[in-house]
Amino acid sequence: MVIEAAGERPTTSVGRSVARYLQQRRLPNLVPLLLRNQRAIDSLGTQAFVIAARRKFRRGPVEPVEAYATEALRRTGNAATPAAVAEGVRALNACLDPDGSRQPPVSRSIGGPLLFDLIDVQHMDGTDIDALVAAAEHRVRHTRSPGYRAVLRARRGGTPPAGPRPRSIVGAQLRALARYDIDTVQALPDDPSYDFVLAAAAHACEAAVRERFGGGRHDEIPAFCREVSRRQQVPAITPNEALNVVLDALGETAPYEAADQDLQAQIRLAVFARAVDDLGLFDRELVSLIRSAEDAAEAEGHALSPWPSPPSPGESH
C-alpha cells in the first residue's frame, strides 16, 4: 500500500527553516534564525540526526558504524581524523542505543556533515526532508527532548493539509503510541471490537518486528526486549514476555509460556511502538503499515470500528 505524503511537513517556522537548510545547504540563510532560536534548531537537528541514523542502520544489511563514519566524513569533504571518526561513531551509536532517551554527544562540525551524508546516501528528496523534520518536531514535542519548549514557542504558519490516517480506533491508538502522543491515546475511546483489536495489533506488530529484525539482526533482540520491558510499566511486561511476542512475529518458537490474551495484546502494542521508533518511520510509512494491518484484520472477518470524526485533540499536532 502506498500512502501519499500530504500534510507531512514541518509546522513551525524553525522547522521549515531547518528543512530548507537541509535541502539547500546555504548556511547564511539559517544564521539569522540561528541567532534567535539556537536551542530549538539544535534540538530539531539532533532529533533529525537520530531519525536519519536509525533509518540508515536499522534497515537492510548490517553496516559497520566506524566504516560508515569514515567514508561519510570523506564524502562531505571533511578530514576523517581518528578523533573526528571517534566522535562520529559515538554520536551514531548513541542514536542506535537501545535506550532511546540518550542524546548523541556530537558537535555541529561532525553532526552536520554526517546528517547531510545520511540524507544523501538514503536519497532523500525535498518531500522526504520535510517528513524528516516534521518527525523531528513531533519527537521533540512529545519526548520532551532538550529544547522542546523553544520549539513549542516557535511561530507557526497555519496547519498543513491533513494527510491519510488509520481507519480504525485501534489504528489511531497504534499511531499515537508510536508517536509518543499520549494526549491522543488518552483522548481516544476504547475500541469496542475486541477481536479486531487483537487481530490488528498482531498484524501491525508482526510487520514492524519483521522489518526491524530483518537483515541478520537477531542478536539485537535481547536488548530490544529489555528496553520494551523498561519503558512499559502498566501493565508490567517482562523481557521474556516481550521475547515471546518478537519470536512469534518472526515465525519462531517462543521459549516461554504465553501471557493471557489481554496482556498479549498490550505486549504487542508495546513491541510495535518500540520497533517503529527504532526504524525511524515517517508518518506516511507508519500509516501505511497500520492500514495494511487493518486490512488484514478485516480480511479475516473482524469488524472494524471507525476512527471518530473530527480527529482527537492530539491529532492536531
- Note the pLDDT of residue 262: 83
Question: For the chain, which residues make up each domain, given as ranges?
Answer: 13-153, 169-316
Q: Please, which pLDDT band fits residue 231 given cuts at 50, 70 and 90?
A: confident
CA dihedral of residues 213, 218, 222, 228 (deg, nearest 10): 10
Please state whether the peptide bond connecting residue 64 to the residue before it is cis, i.e. omega within 30 degrees of 0: no
Q: Which of 32-46, 187-201, 239-253, 278-292 has the lowest mean pLDDT?
A: 32-46
Output DSSP code: residue 309: S
pLDDT digits 0-9 by tens, 57-102: 988 778 899 999 999 999 999 999 999 999 999 999 988 886 555 5
CA separation for the pair 195, 172 (Å, rounded): 16
- Note the pLDDT of residue 303: 87
Angle at 185 between CA 175 and CA 14, to 5 degrees: 65
**Region 103-113: what's the mean pLDDT?**
76
Contact (Cβ atoms closer than 8 angstroms) between residue 92 and residue 54:
no
**Region 158-179: what's the mean pLDDT?**
80
Question: Grid coordinates standing for 171?
Answer: 489504528
